[in-house]
Amino acid sequence: MCIHAAISEPIKLIALLIAFCLAGLDCCAQGKADPPNTANTREEILAASDGWQIHTTYYESAAGKESPVIILLAGAEGPDKKDPRNRRVWQNAAVALQKSGFAVLAVDLRKHGDSLPEGTAPESLKMTAGEYVVMATFDIDAVKTFLLSEHQNEKLNIRKTGIVAVGSSAMVAAAATVADWEKKPYPDGPTLETSTPRGQDVRALIMYSPNSSVKGINSNTVMKAIKALPIAVHVIASKDVKDDARNADRIYKAVEIKGEKFKDARKHTIVAGELTAEGFLEGRFADPTNKDITEFLTKNLKELDMPWTSRKSRL
C-alpha cells in the first residue's frame, strides 16, 4: 500500500529549525566535462533570489504534462572531499529516468561545479556559516521556480516531484522538502483542499550515503518533520563505510514507520563493499543503481494518482 494512501490523518508540520554555524568550510573543486548532446537536453542557468547563478542540466521528458520530475543533487562536502563530482555525474541516471518518462534537472548547488562566480577559483571560495541553509532555500527555490514554469507550459507535473541526493546534499534535500511542505496554498478557495497549492510537491526522497551532520541544518528536527509527511523515503549506504552506515541508520530510524503497508515507501538498503556517495553512480555499479532509482520512483512517484492541474492562482 502506498504511503500517500496510508497516512490519512492531518499532517502536523514541524517547523524547520535551522541553526547557523560559526565555522566555515572551503568549497571543493568540481571536475569539468562536456555537457550531454541530445535534442531533449539543455543547460539552464537559474538565478537564486540573492543573485547567485545556479547551473543545471535539464532533461526534458517526451511524455508531456503528466511527467514526474526528479531533482538530482551531487555532493556538497567542502574542502576535504576527495575526487569531487559535479552535476554531470548524474548523466547516465538522468538519461535512464528520461527514457522512463521522467523530466530531470541535475543541479550544481552554489560554490560547487559550475555554480561559481565568474573568474573565481574554486579553492578560493569558503563555505560560510549558513551556506547549506541558503542551498536548501534560495538554490532549491530557484529550481522550483524553473520547474513551475515548465509545469505551467505543460512539460511536466510538478505535483510529482522527487529528489535524489548524495552526502551532505541529502540533508539539503530533506530540509528543502520540509520547507516545500510548509508553504501555504494561495487563499483562492473556500478551503485549503480547494485552494491552489504553492508547495507540497516533493513526494519522494532518495539519499545515498547521507551525511546526518551538516552545519547549519538541524537534522533531528528535519527528519522528524519528514517522518510525518506523506512521502516515500529510501536511504542507501555501504555497510563497510562505517560513518555512512551509521548516518544512514540514524536517518532511517528517524523516518521509519512500522508496518507491512509502509515497507515499499520507507526503505533502508545496506550494501556490501566500500561504495560511498557518487561511487554508486559510477563503473559497474551505475546500471544497478540507475535501475533501483527508476524502480523506486516509478512505484512511489510516477504511479501516483495526481493528475496535472494549473498552479496559477485564481486571485
Taking only the tens place, the pLDDT of each residue in 232-283 is 999 999 999 999 999 999 999 999 999 988 999 999 999 999 999 999 999 9
Mean pLDDT of 129-134: 88
For residue 213, count CB atoms less than 10 angstroms from its CB and return exposed for 0-12, middle for 13-18, buried for 19 or more: exposed
CA 237 vs CA 33, 179, 252, 275, 283: distances in Å: 27, 25, 11, 8, 17
d(CA 173, CA 181): 12
27-63 pLDDT tens trace = 333 333 444 546 799 999 999 999 999 999 999 999 9
Domains of the chain in sequence order? 3-7+15-186+196-302 (3.40.50.1820)
Per the model's pLDDT, the better-predicted residue between 120 and 249 turns out to be 249
CA 60 vs CA 7, 12, 71, 151: distances in Å: 32, 35, 12, 11
| Cβ-Cβ contacts under 8 Å for 210 (sequence gap 6 or more) | 165, 166, 167, 170, 171, 235, 237, 244, 247, 248, 251
